[in-house]
Structure 1
Amino acid sequence: MKADTNQNTPLISLTDYNKLANNLVLDLKRLRSFSEKLNIQQSLTAIDDVLEKIENKTFWVAVVGEFKRGKSTFINALLGQEILPSDIEPCSATINRVTYSLNSYVEVEFKDGRKERVEIDKLSEYVTKLTPEAEATAANVKEAVVYYPAPYCRNNVDIIDTPGLNDDPSMTGVTLSVLPKVDAAILVIMAQSPVSEVERDFLENKLLTNDLGRVIFVVTGIDRCNRPGDADKVIASVRKRIKEYVLELIRKVNI
């Protein structure tokens, strides 16, 4: 990707950024005070999440999509290592967050507040549906944090692997619960079945309603396009459909 070298592009200095962040924190704290007086619990939770992210200077990217679209495989490719469990069957059953660390290990947080440190090669026993035992354990897991020296995760960037959409309602609910907390989302689409009805509904009613500028689209399975020109046709088709969905959503909003 070529960098934008336009000299007219406004740049913000670190001092200006810190000033902006401090002003935002003050405004959020005032808003939190009003929400507390009015007992608006949903607003309090949302504001606390934003304040924590600003203070910790974190940036969260969620990888989402239907099951068996290659989300975990895509993240492993970014990491350059087979870290997250992947399988031809629906696999991920919890939120798996990859964060930067010089030491490699996993911290599993259970829904009852317990935390357990495990080795990375044992992760599948806690977060997948590959065996009845693992699925039973995963049902009690709130989140698994994978600490790993991944270059993509430097500077407080966390990558979040989510359960597949349309796997079962509980898994879809887990994925939807994390969306309000992330700064960007990567929607993984399979070349062999681009933009299904489930993906279209998710795109129109969950992602695009928040902020299109925070959504990145990745098409997987391009290597399975055997005939010359097929890959370009798939990419063009996905781009056309997304454009149509965006324009249709804009039209609905403006009616």
Structure 2
Amino acid sequence: MTYIDEKERIGKLAEAALTKLESTLPGSSQMKTLTDLIEDLDEDSYKIMVVGEFKHGKSTFVNALLGRDIMPRGVTPTTATINVIEYGKEEKASVHKRNQTIEEFDTLDILKSYTADDDFDSDEIRHIKLTVDSTLLKNKVVLIDTPGVNDLSEQRSEVTHQFLPRADVVLFMGSLTSPIKASEEKFIRERLIKNGIDRVIFAANFMDSIDEEELDELTEFVERRLETITGTRLNSLYPLSALEALEGKKENDAELLNYSGLPELEEEILRRIESGSRGKEKIKNFTERLVNICEVIEDEIKTASIVSSQTIEELELQFAAIQKWFGDLAAQETDLQNYLYDREAEINFMVSKSLSHFGERLNDDIETRIHTFQGAAIKNLVENQLPMVIKSQFTTWIDQYEDKIHQLLIKLEKEVSQGLTRSFNQSIQLQKNQRASFNHLSTIPIFDAKSGNAHVKAGVILGSVGSVALLLGAPFFLPIVGMAGLPYISEKIAEKQLAAVKPELIMTARQKVNEMVKDFDRQLSEYIKEATNDIRDRSLEEFNRLLYSYETILNDEMDKHHNETADIKKRESKLEELKNIVTSYRSGVEIYG
């Protein structure tokens, strides 16, 4: 079954469950979550991300997929921003900046103002979103065009930590005229392999620049080189002429299009979308969400079954406990916040301790590099080598510890949901103990804390927080960039001068690194605070939704009891009336008999 088939199957199951729920348990806590799941399934898109070195024809390839010129292209490198292209009948653009502001434009021409040749600060731009009327995009396809690989490795943390992990297909655009540079190999080893090599399609552009008799041999050479780098056997490397593909589509020239190699590549993209690991991950996530929803509904049904056998007094006791919970909500939130403050402090302590050790190791490494530096080009050391080392080591720390931070937050998320459940069950138990006549009140299935998951799905809450790596924007590295302005830094320096300035350079570098570690610690603290606040808000929201569902079940059952009581009284009244009539009839018969 393909990815599309699986998604349709899950969607039909969710819609059927929602329809049944609306008629049977209209107050269910899962009405919203089912609706959200159906909407997410409907809005789910297939993300195709194009990466590669500068001047390898990535934008021309994107244009070829679209069948028209959308992305600026030329001999010199043009793409300087991350460009996200989605479907829209009304073509427009929006520039999303790091300061959270968005500039809207009613034309796609604005993209020409954001190329590598233009005078703008690319570090201020997070990404540019384009809506384009395209047949390809109508089928829920999103194209992501990126700057050169070298730029990605050094600056664009959004690409490697936000867009890349979420891409269904990653198309790596190489070149048959300059096979696999060092920067490309580094990106493949450090980023593509990490995110799943089976999502990656390797293409090699400029097939039209290679002699036909050399094409097979050169393609085989590049393919072997890629297999050595990835450590896996490639199904195929796709030689391509992006320019001829674009011209073939624009001119409706089937022969030129077939010669360009694009049709085979498009078929492979579709195959990867339907069977790739990213699609499997999304299907697994959608399936788990539906299973979790069904588990909660089952517990709501069990709860409804239990309360149906309880007396009106027992129902009123539980209803009163809910009212008391909502009445004491402010106090509950205060207790929860105090608990979160303590847990937040513990996480921050562990993170700060790790960062402190990291800072010491980084300072020692930088000091060693400065001590052992030989030569006259100290400006290159300060402007290029040291910043690259520092950025690389910060990224390595994030790769190593980001998941550990998230695991601590997920553990906290579970503890909060379990704590809310225990608190409410204790409230019920307390009232039960005060009323000895209620002997068969059992733990309410919908709030069964023993399950270890009070139906707040682990990790779902953290989705809105984002990646730790996004904290490392360009402004973060300003201190180390500022070292290039030191008065003794020049293009070249004499050996005696170098020995004299090394101690001061070491001291300055240590100061700058300490500034960055301290600032990163502060940003991580804010990140953790935001996550814990989100855990608090979403946990309370989910738990209160369960309470409202429980309240509805109790209300329905109490209404039945009241209706039954009213029916009994009505029947007794009718019987009494019948009795009186019969009695009067009997008396009359006796009188006249």
Structure 1 length as normaliser, TM-score?
0.71
- Say if 2:149 is the partner of 1:188: no
How far apart are 1:192 and its partner, in Å? Answer: 0.4
Q: Distance in 2 between matches of 1:213 and 1:97?
A: 22
Choose which of 130, 145, 148 in structure 1 pairs with 2:132: 148
**Structure 1, residues 78-105: CA drift from partner, whole Å, max 9, x if none?**
1111111223223222210110111211
Structure ranking higher in strand proportion: 1
Q: Which amino acid aligns with 2:118?
A: T
**Structure 1, residues 115-135: CA drift from partner, whole Å, max 9, x if none?**
22221112121x322122xx2
Choose which of 209, 221, 239 in structure 2 pairs with 1:224: 209
Q: Distance in 1 between matches of 2:56 and 2:95?
A: 25
- Say if 2:5 is the partner of 1:18: no
2:100 match: 113
Question: Could you list the runs of 5+ residues in structure 1 that have no partner in the other structure?
Answer: 1-9, 23-51, 250-255
Are 1:164 and 1:172, in contact at CA under 8 Å, matched by a contact in 2? Answer: no
How far apart are 1:56 and its partner, in Å? Answer: 2.8
Q: Which amino acid aligns with 2:70?
A: I
Are 1:60 and 1:160, in contact at CA under 8 Å, matched by a contact in 2? Answer: yes
2:554 match: none
Q: Distance in 1 between matches of 2:8 and 2:232?
A: 41
- Say if 2:110 is the partner of 1:122: yes
Moved more, 63-72 or 201-210: 201-210
| Greater RCO, CA 8 A, separation 6+ | 1
Q: What secondary structure sits across from 2:71 in the alignment?
A: coil
Are 2:126 and 2:158, in contact at CA under 8 Å, matched by a contact in 1? Answer: no
Q: Distance in 2 between matches of 1:224 and 1:61?
A: 26
**Structure having the higher Rg:** 2
1:210 match: 195
Alignment of 1:227-242 (within 5 A): 227-242=211-226
Alignment of 1:1-255 (within 5 A): 10=1, 12=5, 16-18=9-11, 56-118=43-105, 119-125=107-113, 127-132=114-119, 135-136=120-121, 138-167=122-151, 170-177=154-161, 178-225=163-210, 227-247=211-231
Q: Distance in 2 between matches of 1:130 and 1:188?
A: 22
Q: Which amino acid aligns with 1:121?
A: D
**Structure 1, residues 159-200: CA drift from partner, whole Å, max 9, x if none?**
001111114765453432321232221000011011222212
Are 1:163 and 1:174, in contact at CA under 8 Å, matched by a contact in 2? Answer: no
How far apart are 1:18 and its partner, in Å? Answer: 3.2
Are 1:100 and 1:154, in contact at CA under 8 Å, matched by a contact in 2? Answer: yes
Q: Distance in 1 between matches of 2:11 and 2:66?
A: 30
Q: Distance in 2 between matches of 1:20 and 1:62?
A: 31
Q: What secondary structure sits across from 2:198 in the alignment?
A: helix
Q: Which amino acid aligns with 2:89?
A: L
Are 2:96 and 2:125, in contact at CA under 8 Å, matched by a contact in 1? Answer: yes
Q: Distance in 2 between matches of 1:55 and 1:16?
A: 12
Distance 1:157 1:248, change over 3 A: closer
Q: Distance in 1 between matches of 2:166 and 2:155?
A: 17
How many residue pairs match? The answer is 207
Q: Which amino acid aligns with 1:57?
A: D
Q: Distance in 1 between matches of 2:202 and 2:232?
A: 18
Are 1:165 and 1:171, in contact at CA under 8 Å, matched by a contact in 2? Answer: no
Q: Distance in 2 between matches of 1:198 and 1:53?
A: 37
Q: Distance in 2 between matches of 1:246 and 1:139?
A: 31
Q: Distance in 2 between matches of 1:166 and 1:20?
A: 46
Q: Distance in 2 between matches of 1:64 and 1:152?
A: 19
Question: Could you list the runs of 5+ residues in structure 2 that have no partner in the other structure?
Answer: 16-38, 234-593
